[in-house]
A and B are shown apart, each in its own frame.
Chain A
Amino acid sequence: MKIEVLGMGCARCNKLEQQVHEALKELSIEAEVEKVSDLDKISSYGVLMTPGLVINGTVRSSGKVPSTAELKTWIAEQSS
């Protein structure tokens, strides 16, 4: 599974990345987590507000930090 965190180094983007790692740990699922800070790439996903979260190529959230519960559901959905 590939998880991308979109954001140009704002505080909330770092928070999201940290939460993704926590969610993965709690579910004990391995995944490749990448931080995307290139604006070209961020906008190619159509994300207007950062932080954005992309799991396996689909945008799951943008403009906010989702709760850990939400993160876990998305990750579990993808891995099953």
Chain B
Amino acid sequence: MLFIDILQSGWSALLEYLSAHVLTCLVPAFFIAGAIAVFVSQASVLRYFGASAKKVVAYSVASVSGTILAVCSCTILPLFAGIHKRGAGLGPAIAFLYSGPAINILAVIYSARLLGFDLGLARAIGAVVFSVVIGLIMAFVWRREELEKVNNPGELALPKEEEKTRPQGITLLYFAVLVGIMVFGAAQKWLITGVLCLALGLVLYRWFKKEELGFWMRQTWDLFKKIFPVLIAGVFVAGIIKSVLPQQVVEQWLGGNGLGATFVASIFGTLMYFSTLTEVPIIRALMDLGMGKGPALALLLAGPALSLPNMIVIARIMGVKKTGVYVLLVVIMATFTGMIFGNLIL
């Protein structure tokens, strides 16, 4: 194949991606992510990661809080290190590390949109459930060490609780309207979307300060600047993969929903580095070439949670032995979840 053809494929993937239907879903998603970062109190969530927090609470919060804490992958490692060393301990830290990248709001929306609603949902649920399982196993294996930590609890430096400037119901209403705009916009129901936009304007005018709106816009723009260029590069690479990788190879290694294909997908995901959200277009490309849904889910679960570079960082925080066990558990769990999804649910 000519070099120019390869570039052409990347280019056409990019154009297709930039077409209206993907944008209508991603633009509101960025606004929602920005709103979460500005208007949801992170202090109220972080409190549950303290050393004195009840274990059940710590695990549950750790497994779902990625939605609001991990909008960008760069926040995951400091949180993980802090929870492990000074906070609720190894188990909840691991649960957060595993589920965080998979359930941040942008990742969920984007996966559901590009890969299908079922895969998006399976990704979110799979990540939450198995993060707790992996966390519990890790905490059980190193239970003695964890007991020592309970006797010497550390302290967390929590961000200050911000003053409430409006009733909680209004904040909820605001988020509901934002999600509504995204959903109906994606469904191209323009009348309802328009009405919701008007409602949003009213809420903002009545209950939000000008300064807060500025913060929201800046945060949204920051996220957009950080994530969008990388995402575009990812889409381009995905387009290139689609043209240079022979369909036979993908079908042979990743086709169907068998144990072999799912296992290969989780190993590949474990080693490969995906920048925020870029796993999604790449998996889409592999699926177009014949990868089954089971292996796709395995790749979605193992991919963003682990990569060679972040294994090295994790190993520095908690040691090589624990990292080894963690990697092994991720591979097993991703394969297992992929198998269940590919064979039982579909």
Q: Do A and B bind each other?
A: yes
Which A residues are within 8 Å of any B CB, using their own CB?
Answer: 8, 10-12, 39-40, 42-50, 52, 59, 61-64
Q: Give Cα A45 to B78, complex, Å.
A: 11
Q: Give Cα A63 to B38, complex, Å.
A: 11
Please determine whether A48 and B82 come into contact, CB atoms closer than 8 angstroms: yes
Residue of A with least CB distance to B156: A46
Interchain nearest-CB distance for B202 vs A (Å): 28
Contacts of B155 in A (CB 8 A): 46
Residue of A with least CB distance to B72: A10
Number of B residues near A (Cβ < 8 Å) is 30
Interchain nearest-CB distance for B307 vs A (Å): 16
Number of A-B contacts (CB under 8 A): 71
Contacts of B49 in A (CB 8 A): 48
Please determine whether B81 and A61 come into contact, CB atoms closer than 8 angstroms: no
Please determine whether B78 and A11 come into contact, CB atoms closer than 8 angstroms: no
Is residue B20 within 8 Å, beta carbon to beta carbon, of the partner chain? no
Interchain nearest-CB distance for B216 vs A (Å): 14
Q: Give Cα A44 to B226, complex, Å.
A: 28
Please determine whether B157 and A39 come into contact, CB atoms closer than 8 angstroms: no
Interchain nearest-CB distance for B339 vs A (Å): 35
| 6 contacting pairs across A/B (C-beta < 8 A) | A8-B74, A42-B82, A48-B156, A49-B46, A49-B75, A50-B75
Interface SS of B by simple majority: helix
Q: Give Cα A40 to B69, complex, Å.
A: 20
Q: Give Cα A46 to B82, complex, Å.
A: 6
B158-198 CB contact bits vs A (8 Å, 1 = yes)? Answer: 11100000000000000000000000000000000000000
Interchain nearest-CB distance for A45 vs B (Å): 6
Residue of B with least CB distance to A45: B157
A-B CB proximity, top 3 nearest: A59-B157, A43-B81, A48-B82
Interchain nearest-CB distance for A71 vs B (Å): 14
Is residue B250 within 8 Å, beta carbon to beta carbon, of the partner chain? no
Please determine whether B159 and A49 come into contact, CB atoms closer than 8 angstroms: yes
Given known pairs A45-B157, A62-B157, A63-B42, the reply for A39 and B86 (CB within 8 Å) is no
